[in-house]
Amino acid sequence: MKITVAQSSGFCFGVKNAVSAAEEAVKDHPDGRRLVMLGEIVHNKNVVDKLISEGFEICDRAEDCPENSIVIIRAHGVTPDETAVLRSRKCEIRDMTCPFVSKIHKIVRENAQKGKNIIITGTKGHPEVTGILGEAKDKGVKCAVIKDPEDINGLDFPLESAILISQTTFSSEIFKKICQTVKNKIEKSNVFDTICITTESRQKEAASLSEVADSMIVIGSAHSSNTTKLFDICKGRCARTFLVNSGTEVKDLISEGKILPDDKVGITAGASTPEAIILEVVQQMNEEEKITNQGFDTEFANAVDLIAQVRRGAVVKGTITSADDDYVYVDVHDKSEGRISRKEFDSDPDFDLDKAIADHTEVTVKVRSIKNSDQGKEIILSKNDVESEKGRAEIEEAYKNKTPIDVKITRTVKDGVIGSYKGVDIYIHRTQIKSGDVKDLDSYVGQTLQIIVTKFDTEKGRLRISGSHRIIVSEERRKKSAEIWDNIEEGKHYTGIVRSLVDFGAFIDIGGVDGLVHVSELSWSRNAKPSDVLKVGDEIDVYVKSFDKETKKISLGYKKLEDDPYYNIEERMPVGCIVQGTVVRLTKFGAFVQLEPDLDALCHVSQISSRRLEKPEDALSVGQVVQAKVIKIEPEERRISISIKEVAPIDPEIPEEPAQDAPSEEAPVEAAVESTDEQA
């Protein structure tokens, strides 16, 4: 019996990330918080049962998730409505939607907003399909889920108005047939091949393997979409194809004579199948048939048909032969040359690539993957992977000794950043970057941070490394804090950083200790808000006004005496001098005139005009520029009195009284006559 295990077997990228997130939640979640899977995180009973035993519970609907729980969203993704429900229930959402699925969500969302109808090739009711179609809800467009070319004829909307996308695990072979059916009916730009690259490679390899196998084993759940498609592909090429969930089922197949001793056996596995199950199947076959020298041992990584020395994960030597804009090609003594991303060489300024090609320089490389295609075998290599082995050893040593190391932040991920140390990725959660909330993760990309390695986990065959810059910052802050409290005194100046602004002032970090500058100490302007004077991150000079070592509180001063508008006022504006200002406010007793920013003087109503005024408005208006004489200064009371009338009084015009008609000359005579008549 000869056994060949497909290289593209087991957990896909999305499922692996989701399961890892669940395992991390088990280790790190706070006490009292409930852990929830929104739907089974993976179509594998063993994995799900293990997570349940560790504290997880399963909810099929967002409405059923307990409030304030930690909810893992599986790789299939969810609808926007479900996300909204989780947020309304104040759940902590750890969204592990596969990047390929998230891309489909974006395509559907954007095109639905443009009024495009949606055609998706996939399984109606599948969680991934349901989540995708949720992006088109309430957009006024029609959606259809199809599974073969014939379904196109049953659509109730014109193809010209639609886009075509696919479920990530749909059959690439059938999708191509559907694309041919809609050719010239749906524009090429509206057809999106969204089948996962891993899925397509897995299906191609399964098809190739089953064509030459006498019997074929597909490991996975019958409830898994991608597993059932693998089974269909293999069954169509190999009559004796079997779907199994465990090594025990394989044992039964062998004992029943369904798999024969002389068979060429091919093994593939769905994206929901953990490596441990695949290894169990291989080991069971080994035990049953006593096959010990057929090119594999008890390690899964080596349970592959090793016809050639070059295999996935192997470290081999080769010679550099040529290069193009994207890749450097290496002869690794296989029928096909391997290729390394040119970026690995461009990032090393000391490596002369042209000379290496001319000299056929030998390099040690690691085989990342091998893919079979119509053009031949595609071998992807890495030089950095080999060099990173040294980095891992140094990181492990630093972990054991709690020795700081420097990492360069290369990219952001959900809730954190990735730091690189000699090609090895180290995860730094956003809470471990610094003390306090980190809002902009992108700003750290390209920076070098010193960290303490807090986790170096090699369990389950996966290396997980985490680090913390916050530990170093906190320790430095603790040392500085102790030094400050040992030497603090009133009046002492410090250079501080503005950490936060509040209504009543600003908190300033003076090097390990925070002090408060009250709003009254920020500016001489009475109406100034903290945000008018400072912004977070400003570097400022402050001095200690008072402190309490027991309560660890420090009151700081910021505004300077020389910035006071009344500073040296009697010298700058002595009594008797002439000043110019602008009327800024009128009251019943006078006018306030601004002489300088934040410096107002009062001109009493009696000092405005040479005439008696009932109110200042009779002579002045806001915004009017006037000249006046300083008649009194009271620095302690922060008052200045001025007189306009002593320089140029402003006298309002007195309106003329209307003229009265002069009496006529005849009036007196008439009056006399009347008087005489009365007397008579």
Residue 245 neighbours by CB distance under 10 Å: 18
Residue 409, CA distances (Å) to 66, 428, 450 in order: 36, 9, 10
54 near 26, Cβ under 8 Å? Answer: yes
191, 163 Cβ separation under 8 angstroms: yes
Paired tokens of 260: 């024969």
Which residue is associated with the tokens 């489909």? 104
DSSP 134: G
Phi, psi of 631 (to 5 degrees): -115, -15
Print the SS3 string covering 365-390: EEEEEEEEECCEEEEEEECHHHHHHH
Alpha helices in 118-171 (DSSP H): 127-133
Map residue 577 onto helix, strand or coil. coil
128 is catalytic: yes
Structure tokens at 48: 């799900």
H-helix or E-strand containing 176? Answer: helix 172-181
User: Do 574 and 631 meet the contact criterion of CB atoms below 8 Å apart?
Assistant: no
| 3 state SS of 238 | coil
Of 149, 86, 163, 97, the C-alpha closest to 127 is: 97
Identified catalytic residue from 40, 128, 135, 337:
128
Coil, helix or strand at residue 53: helix
Per this entry, what is the length of the chain?
Answer: 680
CA atoms within 13 A on the CB side of 308: 16
593: its two tokens = 């005139």
Among 610, 612, 577, 608, smallest CA distance to 595 is for 577
Q: What residues are annotated to the active site?
A: 128
